Amino acid sequence: MSSLILDDFTDLIERPDGGVRRDADERRERQDVHPGALGRLDDLAEWLSAAQSEVPVKPIERPRAVLFAGDHGVAELGVSARAAGGAADLVRAVLAGESPAAVLARRLDVPVRVVDMALDCAEDALPAEVAGHRVRRGSGRIDIEDALTQEEAEQAVRAGIALADEEADAGTDLVVLGDVSVGGTTPAATLIAALCGTDASVVTGRGGAPIDDLAWMRKCAAVRDSLRRARPMLGDQMQLLAAVGGADLAAMTGFLLQCAVRRTPVILDGVVSAAAALVAQRVAFRAPDWWLAGHDSGEPAQAKALDRMALEPLLTHGVKVGEGVGALLAVPLVRAAAALSAEMPAAEPSPAEPSEPSTAREDGE
């Protein structure tokens, strides 16, 4: 397998069409409802128009929630309210339609795809379509060892790229990106602290299933020790993901980069997807133009990452459960923006005034 060069994404990713966005803004000014009266819905509609290269914007008809799943060895330290190695149970709840994400997705008519990248269970314990991209059984304990080998990190990134291509080829017009993990917020906080140049205590939150003070102190210590291992890797994002990321985070990074290449808009969920997005931004600075921040989960690391990428959350409900739930809640808002922009009538543009014939004499006449 040839080596994957992440820097190539810098040239592959273009910004959404600025000319189309200006056309969408001009059309909005010709609608009866005064510009600005719909608040951020106007910005969302113009962003979608630019992403689609369409005026008026097309409705969102084929959204998909893609959830990357994995267990993280650092959970052995008691940094999570859930038992280490328990992410497979969360995945089963999603597949059974019983998790918060599954319930919301069903009501919103958003199909859910779960991808096992590093669950700590036997591969045959889950359907083949879930386990087919698995890189390893659980990611390493990042405070003392690498999460992945270099080969595993590249395999995970390639899997994310392939999945993004599959979604684009299937006509997916909006992706909700989330994670199903145990211990995932610790490597996420480590990646964000490393890339933002901040200390462990600034980025360490209480996680999706809130932890007590003692567990929070253990988590701070784990992030601190992992940061020591992360800082020498800042010049190489693949090495960084291998050292202190995990197979799910590496796959999400590749997925986000390729979604930007394929011009597929993405709604980010919580701190784990924000961490992957921050790594992807470090690879290709134009990539965040294709993403929305679905919500503010209250995790300090997520806020740090979104600020660095200049992404403003659409919602602030304090949803911490993960699994794409916060991002799913933003889907109706994005659909509403598209519908209002496309279905409110707009007056025809005024004909251009004819230019006055020039009366100036040419030089030499």
DSSP H helices in the chain: 9-12, 18-29, 40-52, 87-95, 100-108, 128-131, 150-169, 185-196, 200-203, 213-230, 237-244, 247-261, 271-283, 300-309, 325-343
Q: How far apart are the C-alpha atoms of 269 and 292, rounded to whole Å?
A: 9
Instruction: Tell me if residue 323 is catalytic.
Output: yes
Under DSSP, is residue 314 helix (H, G, I), strand (E, B) or coil?
coil
For 120-138, b/e burial (b = at least 16 CB within 10 A) is bbeeeebeeebbebbbbbb
Cis omega (within 30 of 0) for bond into 63? no
Characterize the bridge pairing of strands 174-182 and 63-71.
parallel
Neighbours of 201 (CB within 10 A): 13
Neighbours of 15 (CB within 10 A): 13
Neighbours of 333 (CB within 10 A): 17
Active-site residue, from 46, 154, 299, 323: 323
Residue numbers annotated as active site: 323
